[in-house]
């Protein structure tokens, strides 16, 4: 039955080929990464943090997953919490993002404009442009800004950084390998620094212990204090002072100096006051 009346079937009608898998919309996938948390797939909430391989998370979701010990496989490189007031988490950094000024447009802003932008080039952080974050300070810029304005200091806070401190946000497959390599080298360096600090601290403590010298005990430290004997000593000093005041003149000294003393011949001829005019301070 069929194929009558001069109908000629074609090859594509007779041979069934394997159908191609459904292609994902790349733009939708990229936009989802930039707007949603990599742990719970919910919209990003500030404060936003980034890991060492460039994935974006809501800080709240990271804390909840760490406390519950329920990190997914794509975030297994985040090791844990650190009890420190300044650095709550060791393997993520809080991002210092620049709000997009165009977001305040009441007509198109809330729908078509992304929340953040580059502070140097004003490019929107929507996934169409490459963005980076500095691991040292958490500031975020477009890759174009770092390429055009080459510097070793942050554009925002002027904090110095190294090339390995640059974190590419939402990297592709090739960039992801580079980020993982930098992560391993950074952690190995931190481990070596920690060990060297421990060794230095132990050496310093040994030097301090070796430098302690036990001084011999002095006899004066153990001798009891003499209470009553201090009074005769003071009496002796006052007697010597009084004796010095009443010191008689030396015949060998000059006449001008000799005349100052009451034992001089001129003093003997000096008139003295009687009992009414007598002044003990001058006589």
- For the chain, give every domain's residue range: 26-192
SS3 state at 185: helix
- What does the pLDDT read at residue 55? 92
Q: In this predicted structure, what is the pLDDT of residue 197? A: 82
- 177 phi and psi, to 5 degrees? -65, -40
Residues 130, 168 contacting (CB under 8 angstroms): yes
Query: How far apart are the C-alpha atoms of 189 and 165, rounded to whole Å?
Result: 13
pLDDT value of residue 282: 57
Among all chains, which residue has been given the structure tokens 């209470």? 227
From first to last of its 283 residues, what are the pLDDT tens digits of the chain? 555 666 777 777 777 777 777 777 788 888 888 999 999 899 999 899 999 999 999 999 988 888 888 888 888 888 876 544 445 567 889 999 998 887 776 665 556 678 899 999 889 888 889 999 999 999 999 999 988 888 889 988 999 999 889 999 999 889 999 999 999 888 888 888 888 887 777 776 666 565 555 555 555 555 555 555 545 555 555 555 555 545 554 555 567 777 777 677 776 676 666 666 666 665 5
What value, to the nearest 5°, has the Cα angle with vertex 206 and ends 201 and 207?
Answer: 95
pTM of the predicted structure, to 2 decimals:
0.59
């Amino acid at each position: 039955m069929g194929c009558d009346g001069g109908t000629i079937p074609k090859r594509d009608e007779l041979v069934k080929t394997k159908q191609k898998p459904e292609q994902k919309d790349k733009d939708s996938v990229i936009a989802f990464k930039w707007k949603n948390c990599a742990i719970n797939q919910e919209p990003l909430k500030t404060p936003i943090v980034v890991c060492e391989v460039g994935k974006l998370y809501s800080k709240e979701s990271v804390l909840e997953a760490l406390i519950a010990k329920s990190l997914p496989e794509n975030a297994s490189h985040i090791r844990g919490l650190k009890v420190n007031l300044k650095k709550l988490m060791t393997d993520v950094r809080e991002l210092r993002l620049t709000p997009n000024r165009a977001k305040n447009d009441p007509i198109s802003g809330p729908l078509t404009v992304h929340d953040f932008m580059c502070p140097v080039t004003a490019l929107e952080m929507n996934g169409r442009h490459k963005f980076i974050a500095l691991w040292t300070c958490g500031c975020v810029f477009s890759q174009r800004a770092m390429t055009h304005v080459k510097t070793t200091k942050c554009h925002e806070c002027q904090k110095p950084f190294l090339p390995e401190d640059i974190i590419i946000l939402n990297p592709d497959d090739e960039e992801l390998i580079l980020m993982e390599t930098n992560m391993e080298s950074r952690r190995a360096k931190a481990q070596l620094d920690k060990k060297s600090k421990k060794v230095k601290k132990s050496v310093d403590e040994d030097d301090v212990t070796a430098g302690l010298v036990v001084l011999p005990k002095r006899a004066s430290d153990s001798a009891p204090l003499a209470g009553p004997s201090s009074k005769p000593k003071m009496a002796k000093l006052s007697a010597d002072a009084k004796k010095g005041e009443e010191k008689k003149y030396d015949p060998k000294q000059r006449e001008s100096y000799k005349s100052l003393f009451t034992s001089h011949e001129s003093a003997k001829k000096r008139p003295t006051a009687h009992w009414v005019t007598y002044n003990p301070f001058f006589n």
